[in-house]
Amino acid sequence: MNTTYQVPAVLPTGRLEEKIGEFKPSFNPAGAVAEANRCLYCHDAPCSKACPTTIDIPEFIRKIATGNLRGAARTILSSNILGHSCARVCPVDVLCQGSCVYHNFQQPPIQIGRLQRYATDHALFYGMKFFQKGHSTGKQVAIVGAGPAGLACAHQLTLLGHEAVVFDASPYPGGLNVAGIAAYKMKSQAVLDEVHQIMEIGFTVRCNTMIGRDISVEELDKNFDAILFATGLGADSIPELEGVNLDGVTGAVALINRIKLDPNFTLDEVKNAIIIGGGNTAIDAVRELLQIGVHQVTMLYRRSIEEMSGYTHEWKAAREEGANVHWQTIPTAIHGIDNRVKQLHCIRVQGGSSPHVPDVVADSEFSLPADLVVFAVGQQRFRAFFTTLGIDFKAGKVQVNPNSGQTSNPRYFAAGDCVNGAKEVVNAVAEGRQAAFGIDQLLRTN
């Protein structure tokens, strides 16, 4: 069903994510002011330079210190319209907080993420409005994908006076924010509330509308002055392995989606879960399953701890919550009973001539009991879709001018995971906004 998204949407109850608590409590007013007063308001602000959306961090912290929460929220949202979700999901330890000068004095950095959350929560709770639609240019832009890049672009285009219509195949807007962010970082309802706030400027989101099924790119091309592709990535990649079609074998993104949005999804029968991968999505799946109450959660990674791409602090937290791990181990087969997974067969590996093809260690096979096997080894790319449109696509990514988001077709732009290969939400927001300025330049010169 092709629907214009009505806000606010209220998600059904009984979803597994409701069992999961948030891991970063918000500040109380006194705590926020005390933390804000620690800030040195550095002139060169290395924290802001480390933020992909270049939020003026000392400026918003100064406003919190003086009790001007509305002003603090305005400063944040003027640079990053998804500042509410980024306050929760950004890897601040490696971005703004990781660059805070307090590290030079061997002191704890300013808790920038929590301060940002404090200000943006306040603005959302009181329904504050900061932005107005710009004077109409009469130009229309289609945006494919209602994730962070698409929403950031739609918001900025509307500010600039263009009409933006966002199309998304899912029933809810928000992209991976609503369906793929681990629930201990941010709940789906909070994402929809934020989307509501963003959409108040006046652009349309049409959910349950898949490009190629419900509307073609040719129709968009005919009816709009430009198109932004913010498609994200495709379904989980599942390797060809004996037993991958058994019930209880899934991809990590699909699993997190069901935990967050499907009221009929349960993990009651799962005692032993195995997650294959070593990135942040793998760690998210591990921590979600532990917090839901799965008894044994084990990560299997083909390389060593030093080589994992997942953040060290996230993995440390997963270990403290009870995660097991087998380093330098790969799955060889999945066996089941009555078409349901029961056992994962594995083997140890080491080194190898190529990082993708490690050597198998002789006589190192072993098996693990498993009721759930989750592959977190990446997502598929939309190569055929983009190349059919004549858009340059290399190394799994849409090729764009980094200053404008423009693709090899001058009227087509792209931003977010389909361009960067899967970075953070804040990168998608920055790219979506940048593409809006690129589109604006095109529309004003044509």
- Binding residues vs ligand SF4 (CB under 6 A): 39-42, 45-47, 57-58, 61, 100-102, 110, 112
Q: What is the three-class DSSP state of 74?
A: helix
Q: Which amino acid is at 66?
A: T
Instruction: Report residue 318 as tokens.
Output: 């997963």
Residue 390 CA to residue 405 CA, distance in Å, equals 16
Residue 323 CA to residue 298 CA, distance in Å, equals 6
Identify the burial level of 171 via C-beta atoms within 10 angstroms of its C-beta, where 0-12 means exposed, 13-18 middle and 19 or more buried: middle
Is residue 331 a contact partner of residue 346, using CB atoms and an 8 Å limit?
A: yes
Say which residues have a Cβ less than 8 Å from residue 34's Cβ, sequence separation at least 6.
none
Identify which of residues 78 and 208 has a Cβ nearer to ligand SF4 in the complex.
78
Identify which of residues 110 and 149 has a Cβ nearer to ligand SF4 in the complex.
110
Say which residues have a Cβ less than 8 Å from residue 183's Cβ, sequence separation at least 6.
16, 17, 20, 256, 259, 260, 288, 291
Nearest distance in Å: CB 317, ligand SF4: 23
End-to-end CA distance of the chain: 35
Is residue 239 a contact partner of residue 375, using CB atoms and an 8 Å limit?
A: yes
Is residue 236 a contact partner of residue 176, using CB atoms and an 8 Å limit?
A: no
Nearest distance in Å: CB 184, ligand SF4: 25
Q: Which residues on neighbouring strands pair with residue 360, listed in sequence order? A: 349
Nearest distance in Å: CB 268, ligand SF4: 45
Nearest distance in Å: CB 181, ligand SF4: 24
Angstrom CA distances, 241 to 52, 249, 319, 330, 345, stand at 39, 11, 28, 11, 11
Dihedral sign of CA atoms 283, 289, 291, 294 in order: negative
Identify which of residues 16 and 92 has a Cβ nearer to ligand SF4 in the complex.
92
Nearest distance in Å: CB 43, ligand SF4: 9
Nearest distance in Å: CB 73, ligand SF4: 17
Identify which of residues 39 and 164 has a Cβ nearer to ligand SF4 in the complex.
39
Identify which of residues 36 and 246 has a Cβ nearer to ligand SF4 in the complex.
36
Nearest distance in Å: CB 342, ligand SF4: 51
Nearest distance in Å: CB 67, ligand SF4: 18
Q: Which amino acid is at 158?
A: T
Nearest distance in Å: CB 110, ligand SF4: 4
Identify which of residues 23 and 102 has a Cβ nearer to ligand SF4 in the complex.
102
Identify which of residues 101 and 217 has a Cβ nearer to ligand SF4 in the complex.
101
Task: State the CB neighbour count (10 A cutoff) for residue 160.
Answer: 20
Residue 287 CA to residue 281 CA, distance in Å, equals 10
Identify which of residues 112 and 143 has a Cβ nearer to ligand SF4 in the complex.
112
Task: State the CB neighbour count (10 A cutoff) for residue 95.
Answer: 19
| Secondary structure (DSSP) of 222-259 | HH-SEEEE-----SBP----BTTTSBTEEEHHHHHHHH
Nearest distance in Å: CB 46, ligand SF4: 5
Residue (of 291, 242, 202) closest to 16 by Cα position: 291
Identify which of residues 97 and 406 has a Cβ nearer to ligand SF4 in the complex.
97
Identify which of residues 45 and 241 has a Cβ nearer to ligand SF4 in the complex.
45
Nearest distance in Å: CB 406, ligand SF4: 33
Identify which of residues 4 and 66 has a Cβ nearer to ligand SF4 in the complex.
66
Instruction: Report residue 145 as tokens.
Output: 């994908």
Query: What is the Cβ-side half-sphere exposure of residue 164, based on CA atoms within 13 angstroms?
Result: 33
